[in-house]
Structure 1
Amino acid sequence: MTLENKFASRPIDKRSLITRMLVGAGIGLALVTFFLIGNTYTRPEWGQFWMLRPLIITPLAAAGGGLGTYFMQYMLGYKGGSSKVIAVIISIIGFLISLWLGTVLGFAGTLWN
C-alpha cells in the first residue's frame, strides 16, 4: 500500500498574481479618483497634501483584495464544480470588503469625518 501525497505543492503563477493585484489597485485608484475629482471642499487643518493618503491607502488595500482573490482561487478554484463557484463568490465578497475598508481608512479624518 502506497501513500498518496494530496498536498503536493502547486507552483504559484506569478503573472496571474501580479495581474490580479494590479487590477485590484486600478479599481481602487479609479474609485478614489472619482471621489477626489468631485471634491471642492477642503479644510486648512487637513494640510496641503491630504489627498495623498487616500491615493496610497485605497489602491494598496484593493491590491491586497486582489491577492486574496488569487489565493482563494488557488486553494479552492482548481477543484472545479461547486468549489469554484464558492471560491468566486468568496473572492468577490472579500475584494469588496477590502476595497470598502481601504476607502474608509484612506478618507478617515478628511472627507469622511
Structure 2
Amino acid sequence: MTQPDNTPTQSLHPTPLINRVLAGAALGLVLISVFLLTADEPDPSWPQYWMVRPLLIVPMAGTLAGVINYALDFVRVQGEKQKIVANIASILIHLIGLFMGFVLGLDGTMWD
C-alpha cells in the first residue's frame, strides 16, 4: 500500500528572492542615476566623490523593499482581498523606502 502524496503543487514564492532583490536594486539605481545625471553643477564645498553615497544607499533601500515584497508572499496566498492588500502595501513600502533612500543618500549635498 502506498502513501498519498500530499505535497503542495504551488510554491509559496513564485519568484525567487534574488529576482526581487535585483529588481528593487535596479529600480533604485536607475532612479538615482537619472536624478544625479540631470543635476546641475555640484557645489564646490561638497566632497569630491559626493555621488558615491546616493549611488550605494538608494539601491540598498530598493533591495530591502524587494526583500519585504518577497516576505509578503505569505499574505498573497491567503485570498484575493489579502493579495490586493499585500500588493498595495508592497508598492507603498517600495515608494517610502526609495524616498528614504533618496533622503539618506542626498543628505548633506542636494538635500539641504
State the TM-score, normalizing by the size of structure 1.
0.82
- The answer for the alignment partner of 1:32 in structure 2 is 32
| Cα distance in 1 between the residues matched to 2:38 and 2:92 | 27
| Cα distance in 2 between the residues matched to 1:21 and 1:48 | 30
**One-letter code aligned to 1:89:** I
Tell me the matched-pair count.
Answer: 102
Shift of 1:89: 0.8
- The answer for the alignment partner of 1:82 in structure 2 is 81
Query: Greater helix percent: which structure?
Result: 1
Shift of 1:46: 1.2
**One-letter code aligned to 1:97:** I
**Which portions of structure 1, spanning 4 or more consecutive aligned residues, are displaced by more than 4 angstroms?**
none
| Cα distance in 1 between the residues matched to 2:49 and 2:111 | 16
- The answer for the alignment partner of 1:97 in structure 2 is 96
| Cα distance in 2 between the residues matched to 1:40 and 1:62 | 25
Q: After superposition, give the CA deviation of every residue in 1:71-111 in whole Å (9 maximum; x if it has no partner).
A: 012x2011131111111111111111101100111011111
CA RMSD, 1 decimal: 1.8
- The answer for the alignment partner of 1:71 in structure 2 is 71
| Cα distance in 2 between the residues matched to 1:12 and 1:88 | 15
Shift of 1:12: 7.3
Secondary structure, in 3 states, of the residue corresponding to 1:89?
Answer: helix
| Cα distance in 1 between the residues matched to 2:12 and 2:101 | 26
- The answer for the alignment partner of 2:55 in structure 1 is 55
Question: For structure 2, which runs of at least 5 residues remain unmatched after alignment?
Answer: 1-10
State the TM-score, normalizing by the size of structure 2.
0.83
